[in-house]
Structure 1
Amino acid sequence: MKIKNILKGAVFGVFAVSGAAHAEVTLNALFMAQAAYSEDDIRNMTEDFKSANPGVNVNVELVPYEALHDKIVLSQSANGYDVVLYDVIWPAEFAQYQLLENVTDRVDADTRKGILDGAWTTVEYDGSLYGMPWIADTKFLFYNKEMLKKAGFDTPPATWAELESQAKAIKDKGIVDYPLVWSWSQSEAAICDYTTILSGMGGQFLDADGKPAFNTGGGLKALEYMVDTIDDGLTNPNSREYLEEDVRRVFSSGQAAFALNWGYMYNLANDPAESQVAGHVGIAPAPGTAGISTASAVNGSMGLGIPTKSEHKEEAWKYIQFLTSQKVQDQYAKLSLPVWEASYSNPDVIKGQEPFVDAAKTSLAVMAPRPTMAAYQEASSVLQEALQNAMLGTQTPADALNGAAEAIGDIQ
């Protein structure tokens, strides 16, 4: 959906502000109710902030990822939010339409130095910063150790070809009907899985001239791989309707040997209260391709920013600084690893999740970006439909991607 059309269609009004009567200022903050930090984590962090800042109240709203972008855009016509969580793929668009405050001058040198270099790409566009990195994440390969052992494998696959062959062996031995499960619904989730595979197969979204190139080379091979695993009965066919939480539930119920998902799944899948396979869950970087890559990853990081129409920018910045501080991130590191470099040598962060941290050290260093373009939402929608058509068998992977490349070239 074009951002300018959303703005034109928005209903102007005044956002209702509520909160404790004693609060001098009430912030309205928008978060994602999906992956990374849990709702309880976010609310507990916020309560800690309010305790430390008695003059500030915070209304927390959580929405599914799929609603996050349009909520941010629509709210600009109603002074809706003071703090928003946003995806790494949106700064170009938001900067073009001046939806987020430029906070470059607010970030001091120590903060710039202390946060992982790659994390800054989450909030940066054209040399300016539009918020603070908060979630450093990518897709990892999760595997059921018990199933691999039954199939005769001591280690998880290191390449996409090995993943396919291990999955076939597991299926042939009758260990599980569908060894692979993915979040391949017609949504951004499928784009993230596709980007992960594309990156490991040497593909690229755009060529040196900025023109679509995903319909050739590694981009085409990635979609062919996805379709082949469906046709060969290795991938759960319902993956074409699944989002990340569906993947977690299927894997945690013992119905899959492998899953691609965000880092938050590691501790949840190993929690007996959340999972039937707790204690048997391994995590590794997504596989690479022999002669091309040793690992695959997509930049799924997210940042916190201040909408330009916020009337409480100073208080909003304090809240963002609190949530993104190393102390708070280290305290809540079980579902989302910190963006601070020093955190990875903190025993309290590492303890009990050493495999997760080890995998992250490799994966976070090779994260592939999705295209940086103001019309990203439109381009993504086109590509989502193409992926779905190929997976449903209504188009060949080549035809689907060629059509998408032509349409996205017109959008540019």
Structure 2
Amino acid sequence: MKLFIRSILAAAAMGSTMLSAPALAETKLNALFMAQAAYSENDVREMTQRFMKANPDIDVNLEFVPYEGLHDKTVLAQGSGGGYDVVLFDVIWPAGYAENGVLVDVSDRITDAMKSGVLPGAWTTVQNDGKFYGMPWILDTKYLFYNKEMLKQAGIDAPPATWDELNEQAKILKEKGIVEHPIAWSWAQAEAAICDYTTLVSAYDGSFLDSDGKPAFQAGGGLEALQYMASSYNSGLTNPNSKEFLEEDVRNVFQNGEAAFALNWTYMYNLANAGEDSKVAGKVGVVPAPGIEGKSEVSAVNGSMGLGITSTSKNVDAAWNYIVFMTSQEVQDGYAKLSLPIWASSYEKPEVTNGQEELIAAAEKGLAAMYPRPTTPRYQELSAALQVAIQETLLGQTSPEDALNAAAENSGL
């Protein structure tokens, strides 16, 4: 009892959200989620309430943190010998988590029905070295969103199919005075910038690492991607505050009518196109991120996430039951407006497709082209080095070439 009271007090101190639980609950689960993008906090609360109603012997305590704190919060809790039973994790973390024993290997819990029903590409989210460390939950990539009304005013018939066309259209929009800064990006010194950079690396057919696992982004497509970012930023076509923006900043700028183009995740489509606080509702278009002529037709980053069980959990079976419920097709189909389901047959259901046919058409191409960020236990060091390289380049402190060479030296690889 004392332990339970301490858990409540600790959760309150961390700003967690405590869901009311049945009085007879015997098993307590602590779950860590992300407080941005994809499913909303309200969605996760509602899903969890449904789970607890169906499982009155299990009480789930939810905590939400910004994406930027998700990894460290998980690892620090492990070091303290307790904390969470279920955690949300990014596709880039299984290698490091496996090396450090953070998550339980659930390979023997993955059923044949799960393997055949989930989209094949989604499984890469939770795998490392042939083992499964959870269930995929968020299947996502970044898309190019555009303001249909602004393009029509500029006499532009179709959204850009290449990144060069994006610049050309943005220039027309600016010259005609339709919008001062037509493009908004998530280029703050955070993982968001790496996702935009990865999208461009995929467009330029670049590589992060060579066959020996050493940095290869200093040349070829990796260099061209950063050169494009610098050129876009310095052209006056990109919102100058992009160097400080995260995804929510991009969404707010776009839905306030202050940008014609924005790169962002699935969740922005319905919030910007149908949200009560959006000034561009009904005017939002979405297509796969553009390609580069002669190199790619579309570009995409793998931004998927999974749910796993921590190795310190004392309630592995209950935690797995919760994960199976949260990732089930029935639940995902009912909350498909901010995050698309991982289940292949979901895309044949009207409750999933109605009202977001344009988004799903873009997803059909974008999800098939998802480009992975590097799979390495040293990912956090690599990402941090690249974030610095992007910032220093945008600020004009160094050239793209020198910035990426320095990132390679500081990557830990």
* TM-score past 0.5 threshold: yes
Q: Partner of 1:282: helix, strand, or coil?
A: strand
Q: Partner of 1:364: helix, strand, or coil?
A: helix
Match of 2:132 in 1: 129
Q: Partner of 2:249: helix, strand, or coil?
A: helix
Q: How many residues align?
A: 398
Are residues 66 and 15 of structure 1, via their aligned partners in 2, closer, same or farther at CA, if it must alter by over 3 Å? farther
**Given the alignment, which residue of 1, 6, 16 partners 1:16?**
6
Match of 1:349 in 2: 352
> Counterpart amino acid of 2:277?
E
Q: Could you tell me how far 1:185 is from its partner in structure 2? A: 0.2
Equivalents in 1 of 2:363, 2:43: separation in Å?
21
**Given the alignment, which residue of 238, 241, 244 partners 1:241?**
244
Equivalents in 2 of 1:170, 1:213: separation in Å?
36
Match of 1:67 in 2: 69
Q: Could you tell me how far 1:35 is from its partner in structure 2? A: 0.2
Q: Could you tell me how far 1:15 is from its partner in structure 2? A: 9.5
Are residues 272 and 300 of structure 1, via their aligned partners in 2, closer, same or farther at CA, if it must alter by over 3 Å? closer
Q: Could you tell me how far 1:41 is from its partner in structure 2? A: 0.2
Match of 1:56 in 2: 58
Match of 2:13 in 1: none
Match of 2:340 in 1: 337
Q: Partner of 2:186: helix, strand, or coil?
A: coil
Q: Partner of 2:61: helix, strand, or coil?
A: strand
Equivalents in 1 of 2:304, 2:153: separation in Å?
35
Q: Tell me if the contact between 1:81 and 1:307 (Cα under 8 Å) persists in the aligned partners.
A: yes
Equivalents in 1 of 2:7, 2:115: separation in Å?
34
1:298-350 CA distance string (max 9 Å, x none): 00000000001101110000000000000000000000000001111111100
TM, length-normalised to structure 2: 0.95
Gaps of at least 5 residues in structure 2 are 9-19
Q: Could you tell me how far 1:230 is from its partner in structure 2? A: 1.3
1:333-382 CA distance string (max 9 Å, x none): 00000000111111110000001111001000010000001011011101
> Counterpart amino acid of 1:226?
M
Match of 1:36 in 2: 38
Q: Partner of 2:290: helix, strand, or coil?
A: coil
Equivalents in 2 of 1:152, 1:108: separation in Å?
53
> Counterpart amino acid of 1:254?
G
**Given the alignment, which residue of 272, 294, 300 partners 2:297?**
294
> Counterpart amino acid of 2:6?
A
Equivalents in 1 of 2:6, 2:399: separation in Å?
50
Find out whether 1:282 has 2:272 as its counterpart.
no
Equivalents in 2 of 1:156, 1:326: separation in Å?
33
**Given the alignment, which residue of 328, 333, 336 partners 2:331?**
328
Q: Tell me if the contact between 1:119 and 1:301 (Cα under 8 Å) persists in the aligned partners.
A: yes
1:73-109 CA distance string (max 9 Å, x none): 0111231001000000000000001110000000111
Match of 2:48 in 1: 46
Match of 2:11 in 1: none
Are residues 367 and 15 of structure 1, via their aligned partners in 2, closer, same or farther at CA, if it must alter by over 3 Å? farther
Are residues 383 and 272 of structure 1, via their aligned partners in 2, closer, same or farther at CA, if it must alter by over 3 Å? closer
Are residues 29 and 15 of structure 1, via their aligned partners in 2, closer, same or farther at CA, if it must alter by over 3 Å? farther
Q: Tell me if the contact between 1:135 and 1:336 (Cα under 8 Å) persists in the aligned partners.
A: yes
Q: Could you tell me how far 1:123 is from its partner in structure 2? A: 0.2
**Given the alignment, which residue of 246, 256, 259 partners 2:259?**
256
1:31-75 CA distance string (max 9 Å, x none): 000100000000000000001001011101100000000110011
Equivalents in 1 of 2:272, 2:240: separation in Å?
22
Q: Could you tell me how far 1:272 is from its partner in structure 2? A: 4.2
> Counterpart amino acid of 2:7?
V
Match of 2:97 in 1: 94
Equivalents in 2 of 1:179, 1:237: separation in Å?
11
Q: Partner of 1:365: helix, strand, or coil?
A: helix
Q: Partner of 2:365: helix, strand, or coil?
A: helix
Equivalents in 2 of 1:15, 1:113: separation in Å?
43
Gaps of at least 5 residues in structure 1 are 1-12
Q: Tell me if the contact between 1:14 and 1:78 (Cα under 8 Å) persists in the aligned partners.
A: no
Q: Could you tell me how far 1:159 is from its partner in structure 2? A: 0.3
Equivalents in 1 of 2:127, 2:6: separation in Å?
31
TM, length-normalised to structure 1: 0.95
Report 1:4-403 matches (<5 A): 16-18=6-8, 20=21, 21-76=23-78, 77-403=80-406
> Counterpart amino acid of 1:302?
M
Equivalents in 2 of 1:85, 1:245: separation in Å?
19
Q: Tell me if the contact between 1:14 and 1:79 (Cα under 8 Å) persists in the aligned partners.
A: no
Q: Tell me if the contact between 1:297 and 1:366 (Cα under 8 Å) persists in the aligned partners.
A: yes
Q: Could you tell me how far 1:405 is from its partner in structure 2? A: 1.5
Q: Partner of 1:37: helix, strand, or coil?
A: coil
Q: Tell me if the contact between 1:27 and 1:83 (Cα under 8 Å) persists in the aligned partners.
A: yes
Equivalents in 2 of 1:27, 1:94: separation in Å?
20
Q: Tell me if the contact between 1:15 and 1:79 (Cα under 8 Å) persists in the aligned partners.
A: no
Q: Partner of 1:161: helix, strand, or coil?
A: helix
Q: Could you tell me how far 1:208 is from its partner in structure 2? A: 2.1
After superposing on structure 2, the runs of 4+ consecutive aligned residues of structure 1 that deviate more than 2 Å are: 13-22
Equivalents in 2 of 1:15, 1:131: separation in Å?
29
Q: Could you tell me how far 1:16 is from its partner in structure 2? A: 3.5
